[in-house]
A and B are shown apart, each in its own frame.
Chain A
Amino acid sequence: MTLAQKRTPTTSTRKPVNSKLMQRLDDIVSPLIALIILLAIWQVLASIPGLTTLPTPVRVVQETWMPLIAYPFYNNGGTDKGLFWQVMSSLQRVAIGYSLAAIVGISLGIVVGMNQRVAKSLDPIFQILRTVPPLAWVPIALAALQQNQPSAIFVIFITALWPILINTAVGVRQIPADYNNVAQVLQLPKSEYFFKILFPAALPYIFTGLRISIGLAWLAIIAAEIVMSGIVGIGFFIWNAYQNNQVSEIILALVYIGLVGWLLDKMMERLQMLILPSGQR
């Protein structure tokens, strides 16, 4: 790095690329080092006799290697499936519930945002329902829908709905007066106003809502599945492991959950970057 900086004229055009690469490398290396340190601390603490019954990271890997880590795709029928299938089942529920929440949340949010009166009357209700934790919806969902699968989807839906709805409504309400004035003076038809002004203006807010919600939806599915016995899914997998006192499996599942949640967020971020014009992020 220092060398490259000293050879000024010839390398001056290359330097930014170089330093960018270094930065990229640094972005990966630093967290990796932190991770190794944390694992080492865990290893040491868990090795001290009498301190905890949690397994060390090394033992977690040893105990779960066969078949969970080595064969994520195995399928013995029933709920005895590899972690890939467990995660996929959970993701499927999230996809359905989340899509429903997005459709309902965005449409309802636009209606609420455009109508002061509706907004005033519904806002307190939204604000209260929003704070109900996902787990609290589970018994209601089960009571109302009887079956596990639709109940799980409902819990996802109801958890993911509020941030999307509330943010969309705020986005619509925050449309700059200038844009509305342009629409008024040009006497834009309703549909033109919707697609050329309202929707794009609210889009950054909609994305904020969508991004908050994808995280919540993933949280909710774990919670919902833990309570719902006998289904394939990473949440019930954890519960099952707990019942059988397989702590290493629980820890492994947690790693999966964290990674998937992180990936989901990254995916939304990518989508946001892709769709939102640069001036609006």
Chain B
Amino acid sequence: MAMTTAIQNLQAADSSANQTPFLVVDRVSKVYPTKDGSYTVLKDVNLTVHQGEFICVIGHSGCGKSTLLNMVSGFSHPTEGEVRLQGKPIIKPGPDRMVVFQGYALLPWLSVFENVYLGVNSVYPEKSKAEKTRIVKEHLAMVGLADSMEKKPPQISGGMKQRVAIARALAIRPEVLILDEPFGALDAITKEELQEELLKIWNDHRCTVLMITHDIDEALFLADRLVMMTNGPAADIGEVLDIPFRRPRDRARIMEAPEYYKLRNYALDFLYNRFAHDDTE
């Protein structure tokens, strides 16, 4: 797992290597046309992600993190370059790359159960009703919502909503799970609980995870690699940090490790000294 950035970049460049990499962002640029000329958000971004990897993306607000992940989910298209999943270019959204949306995106008129069932039913139409119900219940139990299945989203807390969104995403067994700042709006305790649940589930499912975060500690706890982006316009991946902590991870143990602070300071230095934001946030 502890491969160096250099080797991965080499792999990205040399796609004639014996096995096709799982997910490749290949020289991707994104330009938005605006009133006063075109605006380049991302320029020549390269990234190779291996199957089952947990990747966190960090960077200042507005640098283009969502833009990058939207091109993986298929909601937006690269102006130049392409994104490939298992060798095939991504052209539109699909359940193999399930998204946990920034605002949960639960349907308020459906119960918690129905929200998750909607996805399972759409992705596995051939399965029996009993089987689909079982899948939904299993995943809701996994995020600790077995008792709240009949509630409607307006009746549950933010943390519970995020749990439903995660259960909905995982219940359809995506190859890639994309999370855009999933825990940003939650209080510290709920956030840590959910991080641990997410890790546990990821351990069972072994899907590939791409997650945007603003929280370095969160990234260090969750990720195999931390992608650090430079500032926009024309942002790029500045550096990819390997996070070598052994799994299963224990938050307290990690934070005692001397490496933890080295990595943390390195990331902080990247964000606040080398690529400090112009305007204060």
List residues of chain A with CB under 8 Å of any chain B CB: 176, 178-179, 181-182, 184-189, 192, 196-197, 200, 203, 277-280
Contacts and interface: CB of A to CB of B under 8 A. Distances in A.
Contacts of A182: 101, 105, 107
Contacts of B73: 185
A188 B119 CA distance: 8
Nearest to A184: B93
Given A178-B101, A279-B153, A187 B108 contact: no
Given A181-B93, A184-B93, A280 B98 contact: no
A277 to B, nearest CB: 5
B105 A184 contact: no
Interface residues of B, number: 26
B172 A197 contact: no
B94 interface: yes
A181 B154 contact: no
B103 A178 contact: yes
A280 B109 contact: yes
Contacts of B276: none
Given A185-B73, A185-B95, A192 B122 contact: yes
B65 interface: no
A179 B105 contact: yes
Given A181-B99, A196-B110, A279-B153, A186 B105 contact: no
B154 A279 contact: yes
B95 A186 contact: yes
Nearest to B125: A189
A203 B97 CA distance: 30
Contact of A186 (B74, B109, B119): B119
Contacts of A178: 101, 103, 105
B154 A277 contact: yes
Q: Closest 10 interchain pairs by CB?
A: A279-B154, A178-B105, A200-B109, A185-B93, A279-B108, A184-B93, A186-B122, A186-B119, A188-B122, A277-B109
Which one of A178, A192, A197, A280 has the highest number of Cβ atoms from chain B below 10 Å of its Cβ? A178
A188 B108 CA distance: 17
B75 interface: yes
B185 interface: no
B153 A186 contact: no
Given A178-B105, A192-B118, A187 B95 contact: yes
Nearest to B110: A196
11 contacts: A179-B105, A181-B75, A181-B99, A185-B74, A186-B122, A186-B172, A188-B122, A192-B121, A197-B107, A277-B108, A277-B152
Contacts of B153: 279
Interface string B48-76: 00000000000000000000000001110
